[in-house]
Amino acid sequence: MSSPKPRDQIERAAHSLVEEVKNAVALNLTVVAQQNNIDITSEAHTKLMNLVMQSIDEGYHKGSRTFGKHVEEALVGTSAHIVVVPKKKTA
């Protein structure tokens, strides 16, 4: 099995990052609601959570195209600067 391409690894890392953001937002909204720091009904909390999660997903999907282009440019730029030095023959 071949190792994953750098772009694929970066895209997986970005997706994991977004999932962690979603988890933190969900947890924080739930804690704030449970502690009555904001006056919100259970129904409104559910709707708010859905809206926030959908917005994060939408932003990720819209931004991922641009992000992917920047990653590709960075990877190409990096490989263009790699200099291969041939081994010297020893007698």
- CA dihedral (13, 57, 66, 5) positive or negative: positive
| DSSP-assigned letter for residue 91 | -
The predicted structure's pLDDT at residue 55: 96
Return the domain boundaries, the chain: 6-76
pTM of the predicted protein model: 0.69
Quickly count: other Cβ atoms within 10 Å of residue 33's Cβ. Answer: 18
pLDDT tens-digit map of 56-84:
999 998 998 888 888 888 878 765 444 55
